[in-house]
Amino acid sequence: MRGSRGGLVNGDACTRGQRRSAGLAAGLLLVHAVLVGWIALRTSPTLDEVGHLPAGLYSWRFGRFDVYRVNPPLVRTWAALPVVLSGPELRWSKYADGPSIRPEWNLGREFIAANDRGERRWLWYFVIARWMCIPLSVIGGYVCWRWAGELYGPAAGLLALTLWCFCPNVLAWAATIGPDAGAAAMGVAAAYLYWRWLREPTWAGAVAAGAGLGLALLTKTTWIVLFAVWPVLWVLWWSGGRKGSGVVFGESVLHVVGRRPKTTPDPVDLGRATQLTNATGTNGMNSVLRAWLATGGQLAVVLLGAVYVLNLGYGFEGSFKPLGQYTFVSRTLAGEDSVPDGGMGGNRFTGTWLGAVPVPVPENFLRGIDLQKSDFEETKRSFLWGHWKQGGWWYYYLVAALLKVPLGTWVLGAMAVGCTLSAWGGRGYGAGWRSEWTLLLPALAVFVLVSSQTGFSRYFRYVLPCFPFVYIWISKVVCSVQWKDWWIAGLAGAALLWSVGSSLCIYPHSLSYFNELAGGPRHGHRYLLDANIDWGQDLGYLKRWLDANPDVSLVHLDWLGFIPAKHFGIEVADRPPRRGADERSPSTADAGRGPEPGWYAISVHRLFDAGDRYRAFQQRQPTATAGYSIYIYHVKSDPQQE
């Protein structure tokens, strides 16, 4: 039940409505876990996962975090735990270290080769590691339900949870060992704890929020933006406490500074500001100052606690190392002229006073940021809307969202904007501007940060941490039921069904999802490539297709991944296609003859990323597909028979 336009009534925790909401939420989370688990079982390890799992195993074996340092270690070490307990064969001969060296993929291939014992035990290790990541996604869904419910009511909680549970992007990345879905879950959990602390500042709440931020940082360095966002939100929250000639304090703040409220706060929302004292007098000004100092001290605990948890997660490896003793590879940290050929690196702070300053974060956390920054400075080739170019686009993620987010979700988002405007006009669709800014500003900061890195634009998953915040905010449309705006409620219901149905129509191939505006996953390659459609996830489906068609013998396979096809039991003659007459540099012997007869399997990224090599195939209709990312062609000796 809702009360007073915006909060969840907490008086009776065992009401029938609350029990029904909790039961439905548990059911949705169970369905979500099953959906994610099935994708994890059926799809092949993606390109990055080949590096993530051995990096996690390496950390358990040696207690170090220099392998795959561009990402913090929480998700991969958590995922690797059951693999460690299973006793796999581990080899480290491919290990190497250096400022710009990344040995994780060589270690991954070595791990797979060592554990390919006929029954492909290596593949089972990846499956159980993926299943370990399911609880992280469940946490994200739970926070969506809880936070939306407290802001807008139980029905809103179920709407936000449904959007999370059936989002194709969440399903896809929650089923991998990659950090993106885990970062989305831990980021929104940390923000929820911080919001609760803002409403009712206590020392225990500050410790919880700090721990949450530390765990979020251990999933992805992107969340470093919260060190700037959260102090801004703190200022906005308490500055927004002024109203007329009075000062608004929560009960907890007055308790911290030694004053009790003269009146009992409204039980509908204890954390909402209540007019409790007059700021025009000396006592009022003293209360203001003491309230700011009290909450400011707790904010310091939040931020320092996050740094402590971050260091704890790395085992304090290299913590407080002087800045001048690092070797960096990015121009930002090494200096414009300090990165010679060979990747030896440099340090622009050596010899300055900053060089003597101890850095209060783990060594490999900072080195990972430096290495990631170096990647963006390289201006790699990027693809958007059918065009390749060197470097990226600031609007890349906006376009990707337009194509990769279900259109039903976009309709709900547009409705939420309209509902927000109604709330500004006095209608009860809002939860207060302070709460909504606390919800939206972290998502906006992440989106702007990622979009600003235009060295290359490839991976829509980089903005996945924004999703839960947006879903919670969208859920306000459910307030239309309370206001008896039945046409809004009906449209919201239809949009939700559209969103869920669109996602399930291509399940379990959720990684390749494109909405109807893009023409679905069959046409998504016209707009986006790389991990947005093809990340090596369908090689297992190719193996199953070959098993179902035993007369087929592949003469050529080209796919996006690090795992040799032989480890899937796929035998390939590996005769590349001849150069065709329409290519730029046809050989004199083969000009005009096109590809040799036989069966070819080419992943969609390779098909459109290999220059002119596959131009002859780009104009052909595939005979079959493995998932949505591998196209299978049968080239016959007589072109008229095709």
Task: Give the pLDDT score at 389.
Answer: 92
Please give the mean pLDDT across all residues of the chain.
86
Task: Give the pLDDT score at 583.
Answer: 42
Over the stretch 480-529, which tens digit does the pLDDT of each residue have? 877 777 888 899 999 999 999 999 999 999 999 999 999 999 999 999 99
Phi, psi of 202 (to 5 degrees): -135, 160
At residue 577, the 3 state secondary structure works out as coil
Regarding pTM above 0.85, the answer is: yes
Strand bridging mode 598-603 / 554-558: parallel
Over the stretch 404-428, which tens digit does the pLDDT of each residue have? 999 999 999 999 998 888 765 445 6
Over the stretch 8-17, which tens digit does the pLDDT of each residue have? 444 454 477 7
Q: Partners of 387 in the beta sheet?
A: 384
At residue 454, the 3 state secondary structure works out as coil
As a dihedral over the C-alpha atoms of residue 177, residue 178, residue 183, residue 186, rounded to 10 degrees, the angle is 0
Task: Give the pLDDT score at 641.
Answer: 55
Mean pLDDT of 155-167: 97
Helix (H) or strand (E) holding 3: strand 2-3
- Listed residue (233, 225, 214) closest to 462, CA to CA: 225
Task: Give the pLDDT score at 293.
Answer: 86
Residue pair 474/365 in contact (Cβ under 8 Å)? The answer is no
Q: How far apart are CA 79 and CA 215, in angstroms?
A: 15
The tokens describing 53, both together, are: 């799992």
Over the stretch 229-266, which tens digit does the pLDDT of each residue have? 999 999 999 886 544 333 344 444 444 444 434 333 33
Over the stretch 553-572, which tens digit does the pLDDT of each residue have? 998 999 998 898 999 999 88
Q: How far apart are CA 495 and CA 503, in angstroms?
A: 12
The tokens describing 289, both together, are: 């100052």
DSSP secondary structure of 364-426: HHHHHHHHHHHHHHT--EEEETTEEEES--TTHHHHHHHHHS-HHHHHHHHHHHHHHHHHHTT
DSSP secondary structure of 121-164: HHHHHHHHHHHTTHHHHHHHHHHHHHHHHHHH-HHHHHHHHHHH
The tokens describing 217, both together, are: 């940082």
Over the stretch 48-65, which tens digit does the pLDDT of each residue have? 999 999 999 999 999 999
